[in-house]
Structures are given as structure tokens and as C-alpha cells.
Structure 1
Amino acid sequence: MWTIFMMQWKRLFKQPFVVLTFFGLTLLFVTFLGQGQSSPGVTVQTYTTNLPNHAYEELVERLNRTDDFNFKINDQETVEGLIRNNRLSFAVQLEQDTYEFIVGQSSFSQPLTNQYLNEVYQEVRWLLANDLTEDVLETFVPLEVTSRDTSGSAIEFQAQVIVGMTLYFVMYTVLFQMMSIAEQKTDGTWERMMLSPVSKFNIYSGLFLYYFLIGFIQVGVSFLIFTEWLGFSFGEQYSLLLLSISFFLISIVALGLMLVSVVRTPQQLQAVIPIVATASAMLGGAFWPLEFVTQPWLLAFSRFIPIRYGIESLSDVIVRSVAINDLLVPYSLLLGLTIIFGGVGFYFIEKQRK
């Protein structure tokens, strides 16, 4: 096992370009997106078609009572022009008791904005239904109100960006490293390894340990840099962080084994990896929240994607500081996917040898 393990490291030291490239892309994308999400105050362009000017201005003033958002008064023609020219991701049409999003492209800020608007409009509808004004609300009934800080949601989205992009690029690293198996299958080295005195268990164990460790190092170093560089806190539950990363990586190694088993040449695997990795990131919540995916069959398909559960478990540990009991479901699903992918991979690899 250790002979196979060390052979892979020697290969890496001779050709480190792929690993260094995806590690650099991780830092680049997360720094760009993460800093954008951590900047205070989300600017939101608004317009109205039915509200009088004074009512529209009062509503915008009310929405701007938080430091997390900056709602701007605008007109419909200008807003639609900005969206058509891709200069604006989304805007909001404000009316008396309802609102509507005008969306040009996906944005991490939109769900956060929608949550805040929903809370404000619920209060507005309650006041209208009871024929009350905001001035007499506090005198109508003495309440002790605990407000919900929307910055918690901002932290959640920032965590999703950092975790999602890190796992996305580590998928590339691990899967492209597994191209060595496809190359060995093509040139006959794989068959000679299987016929050597080294047991199959030791061969697969050495390869698995290498692929797992190279991914683990990339995630660990990335998280460490983000802590020092972006000032992002990953919490204090380090054991659960390590466990979540481990479950995700073993499922990715199993997925890679399955992909290697169904392709015949390294060129085919090189074409398949970007498709699988990018589709997984899109449907698993790495590029945008799963709330953006509305098709039921796509959501059902996302349940078979490891990165979805990797993001969920790591985000829960980082943002909510959950206990291990709350992570049993994603861990079980990742383990189940590992067994399925690994079983299919072993079956087809052995079948091809026969």
C-alpha cells in the first residue's frame, strides 16, 4: 500500500501544475466572491407603478431602517434598462402590500433581500388588516420584540460561497489526479499492477489514501488562508469540520473511481470531469443557493450529488454550530453515495479486466 502511495506523490512532485492551478483558482474565486458578499449594505434598486410619491418614499425610508440594505428610489424604465444591459442583477417593484422581483441574473443577495422584504411586508399587511398605523403600534399592545439580525443570513451566504467554491475546485483536483488510473489502463500498467504480488486491497488502499489526502490538504490549506486572509471564522468545532470534509472527499474519490471505470481513454475522462464537476456545483448549491433551482426533477437529481451534502454539513457546522446528531443525515447520505459509486466503479473495472 505504501509503495503505491509514495509512487503517486512522486508523480505529483514531477507534475504539480494541475494541483497548484486549482488551488490558485480556489483562492482567486473565493476571495473575489467572498469579499463581495461580506461587504456591508446590499444596494437594491426599486420602483413602483401604483404608489403615490409620498407613500413610495415613506416605504423606502422604512425599508432603509437597517444597515444591511440600501434601497434606492428609481423608475421602471431605468431599472429595466440596467437589467437588460447586465448592469444590475435584480430590482424590486414595491407596491402597498406586495412586492415583486425583476431578475436579470442570479445573485446571492436576492434571497437575503427577499427574506428582509417578507418580514417588513408581513408587518405592513398586519397593520393594514387591523386598520392601524405604525405610530400607534407600540401603544396598542406592549410587546417585547426580539428582532432577527439579517447579518446572520449574510454570514450564511458568505459561508456557502467559501465552502461551495472550495469543494468545487477540490473536486477538480481529485478527479484530475485520478486520470493516472485511466492512463495506466490504456498503456497496460494497470493490468501489470493487478498481476503483481501486491494485493488488490493494498493497491486500491494506496490510491484511495493518496487521492483523499491531496484533497484534504487542499481544503485545509484553503480554509486556513481564508481565516487569515478574509478574516472568516470557521467556528470552533474542528472535529466536525474534519469529519464533514472527510465524508465529502471519500464520496468524491468513489465518484472518480466510477468515472474512471466507465471511460476507455484519458481523453474521454478529461472531457467528462468538467461536465460532472460543474453540473454538480450548479445543482448542489456551490454556485447559487438551491432556492434558485425550481424544477422538481432537478432538485430530485441533486439528492445524488455529494457536493450538496458537503456544503450543507460544513455550513451547518460553521454557521449554526450544530451537534453531530444533526449531521447524521448528510453523513449517511454521503456514505451511501460512496458505497454506490465505489461499488459501480469496482464492478466495471474488474469486468473490463476479464
Structure 2
Amino acid sequence: MRGIILARFTSFIRNPWLFALFTGMSIIFALIIGNFGADNEKVTVPVYGDEALQTDTIGTALAENEVYNFKWMKKEELEETIRRGNAEAGVNIEEDGYEMIVGIDSSNVKLMEQTVAGIYTDKIQGENLLAVSDAQTEEEKEELLAAFQQAKEEPVFKITNQSFHSSETFIYDNGLHSLFGFTLFFVIYTICYNVLPILIEKKAGVWDRMILSPMKKWEMYIANLIYSFFEGYLQVVIIFTVFRFIVGMDFQGKFLQILLLMIPYVFAIVSLAIFLTALVKNTQQFNAALPIVSVSMAMIGGAFWPIEIVQSEFLLALSKINPLTYGMEALNGLVIYNTPLDQLLMPISILLLMGVIFMGVGIHLMERRHV
């Protein structure tokens, strides 16, 4: 058994390209579909006005805004930007007021206007404060304005917001859903192509010759399944590690718990791969069946879109026998719904049960076919 595992590891080191392909595809698709980093980009708002205003109080406040990127440009350039649809609106900044130039009337435009109006309001309040104060020097005026700004940032009332959801509602996070879905989807290919050598070696008579040695048949199965589990789980660990430490996703502080949850899912997929291998007769049938099975599992199990939006009772019934469904349920429950790990025993138990059933039936069918 050790010899088989060692041989498989040696083969992996010499030819890791298939593993790298599926791992890379999982990361790339999750990054693209999940729009990672897009939420942190500021919305660009074109602005024009006198050059003196760019360094004035208004210009400084616009530059320090944390939501919008106010970009100064000429009037003709601003109008052309809005006309082409590259910006929803622009702002004409003046000393005593502003003018909104709207291209697309949307809720974002109203938020932009509120932001600009707030800046002008702060300026007017600051000027009124200086007018009624006895500040004489520039230092005194700056200290007074700084105290005024600090008072604004420390409100008198503190408001605590709480939200809740009923059992009929669901929370959707595009980034997490894409990451979970594509990770669970592509690991199916990695595991299945690692189980395929069992079929190839059986058809070629390699197992018949190995049985003549002191090695037992169950040891050959265990060795191949251990290696398939290892490579599939390694892919999952690499993907989540990349998103945790490179992309910067914190997973609500549950990174290690996620890796723990993936163990029963990977086990179930290894067992499913054994079952699929037992149903086909040759490599050609396997290559034809695998994409159909994997894509169907992803579509029905909620990897490509939330399963909560599916209305078909038939498809929902099929999802109950799909390991990917319970993998997504466990991950979403842990990270998105903050469900404690001990309350996720239902999907974990179902994945383990599926793994035992698929493996038992698969090995039985395989042995009957090759007797």
C-alpha cells in the first residue's frame, strides 16, 4: 500500500499540470465572477471649476472624501464624459454654490449631491462659527475649525443597528458564493481524474498481477482513495489559503473551520468518483459522463447561483441527493449565517452517509464487473 501511495506522489510531482489547471481555474473564475476588489474602488465623479477652488476648503474636502473620487477636469471634458456614459453625473463647483450635471438620474446621483451639499454645509457652518468667534490669528481659527470638525465626528447619540432574517429569506454574498461554488465544482474534476487510474489499471490487468503479490485488494483500493482524497483536499486548502492571505478575505474569522468542513465533502466526492468509475466501461465513457455529472451537480446544487431562487420542485428534490448541495449549505451556514459548527451536523452527517453509500455501491459494482 505504501508503494502505491509513493508511486502516485512521484507521478504527481513529475506531472502536476492537471492539478494546477483546475486549481488555477477555480481561483480565476472566483475572482472574476465574484468581483473581488471592485467594492473597494471609489466611484469617480467628474468636477470642474476655478483652479483656486481645488486648494480651497471645498477642494480639500472633495479630495478627502472616502466614498467618491472627485476628479477635476475641464468643462468640455466633463460633458463628454457624461455624454459617453462614463459617469452618471458631474459637478460644477463655485465659491458660493454648486450645480449638478446629470446624465443618468439614479439613486447614486442623489447620494453624490448629498455628499457635495454636506461639504458646502460644513463650509458655511465653519464660516459662521468664525464670524461669531473672537479668533484673531490663523492658528486660533484653525484650532476652532478643528474642534468644530471633531465635535461633528462625535455625535451625541449612539445608534445600534440590528438586523434579522426569517427562515424564508436568504443572504447572498456574491464573492463568497462564487468562491465556494467554483471550489466545490472544480475539485470534482481533480478527484475524479485521480480515481480514473483504478479503472484503467483494472482494464489493463495491472491489478490482477498485483494481487499475486503479498498486497491485498483492499489495500490497493485504500491506497488509491487516500491519494485521491489528499490531492482533492490539497486543492481546496490552496484555494482558500490564496483568498485568505493574498486576496484578503477573512471568512468571518472561520478559516480553519472551513477547512474542517471540507473534509466530509471531499470524502463524499471521492466516493462519488468511485461510483461513477464503476458505472462506465472505459475511459471514453468516463470523459463523456464526468462533465455531464459535474455541471449538473453544480447547477442543481447551487454552485452557480443560489439554490434558494430555484422554484422547480423536481430540481429541488434532485438537489437532496447531491453532495454539492450540502457542501454549499455547510459553508454558507458557517460563514454567511454565522451558524455554530456543532449546528451543522446535519449536512456533515449527510455527506458522510453519501460517502459511505457511494463507496460501498461503487466498489461492489466494480468488483462484479471485473470478476
Instruction: Tell me the TM-score normalized by structure 2.
Output: 0.63
Give the superposition deviation at 1:234. 2.0
Give the superposition deviation at 1:240. 2.9
Give the superposition deviation at 1:183. 1.4
- State the structure with more CA Rg: 2
| Code of the aligned partner of 2:264 | F
Kept after mapping to 2: 8 A contact 1:182/1:269: no
Give the superposition deviation at 1:184. 0.9
CA distance in structure 1 between the aligned counterparts of 2:290 and 2:211, rounded to whole angstroms? 25
Residue of structure 2 aligned with 1:297, choices 307, 314, 327: 314
Describe the shift of the 1:146–1:193 C-alpha distance in structure 2 as closer, same or farther (beyond 3 A).
same
Describe the shift of the 1:303–1:149 C-alpha distance in structure 2 as closer, same or farther (beyond 3 A).
closer
Residue of structure 2 aligned with 1:148, choices 150, 160, 163: 163
Task: Say which SS state the counterpart of residue 320 (structure 1) adopts.
Answer: coil
1:223 equivalent in alignment to 2:236 = no
CA distance in structure 1 between the aligned counterparts of 2:260 and 2:36, rounded to whole angstroms? 29
Kept after mapping to 2: 8 A contact 1:257/1:346: yes
Residue of structure 2 aligned with 1:189, choices 187, 206, 217: 206
Kept after mapping to 1: 8 A contact 2:8/2:227: yes
CA distance in structure 2 between the aligned counterparts of 1:16 and 1:158, rounded to whole angstroms? 28
Kept after mapping to 2: 8 A contact 1:37/1:158: no
CA distance in structure 1 between the aligned counterparts of 2:212 and 2:38, rounded to whole angstroms? 55
Aligned to 1:24: 24
Provide the alpha-carbon RMSD of the alignment: 2.6
| Code of the aligned partner of 1:19 | F
Residue of structure 1 aligned with 2:298, choices 267, 281, 285: 281
Give the superposition deviation at 1:10. 1.8
| Code of the aligned partner of 2:32 | F
CA distance in structure 2 between the aligned counterparts of 1:321 and 1:148, rounded to whole angstroms? 13
- Gaps (5+ residues) in structure 2? 42-66, 68-158
CA distance in structure 2 between the aligned counterparts of 1:283 and 1:197, rounded to whole angstroms? 45
Give the superposition deviation at 1:277. 0.8
Task: Say which SS state the counterpart of residue 343 (structure 2) adopts.
Answer: helix
Describe the shift of the 1:12–1:37 C-alpha distance in structure 2 as closer, same or farther (beyond 3 A).
same
CA distance in structure 2 between the aligned counterparts of 1:190 and 1:16, rounded to whole angstroms? 24
Aligned to 1:242: 259
Describe the shift of the 1:195–1:346 C-alpha distance in structure 2 as closer, same or farther (beyond 3 A).
farther
Aligned to 1:11: 11
| Code of the aligned partner of 1:222 | I
Kept after mapping to 1: 8 A contact 2:264/2:352: yes
| Code of the aligned partner of 2:339 | V
CA distance in structure 2 between the aligned counterparts of 1:348 and 1:314, rounded to whole angstroms? 32
Give the superposition deviation at 1:323. 2.0
Q: Hey, which bits of structure 1, 4+ residues long, moved more than 6 A?
A: none
Describe the shift of the 1:303–1:195 C-alpha distance in structure 2 as closer, same or farther (beyond 3 A).
farther
Give the superposition deviation at 1:324. 2.7
Aligned to 2:35: 35
- Gaps (5+ residues) in structure 1? 42-66, 68-143
Give the superposition deviation at 1:293. 2.0
Kept after mapping to 2: 8 A contact 1:237/1:321: no
Aligned to 2:337: 320
Range that drifts further, 255-264 or 313-322: 313-322
Give the superposition deviation at 1:283. 0.6
1:247-270 Cα shifts (integer Å, max 9, x gaps): 000000000001111111111111
Give the superposition deviation at 1:327. 0.8
Aligned to 1:87: none
Kept after mapping to 2: 8 A contact 1:257/1:342: yes
Kept after mapping to 2: 8 A contact 1:212/1:249: yes
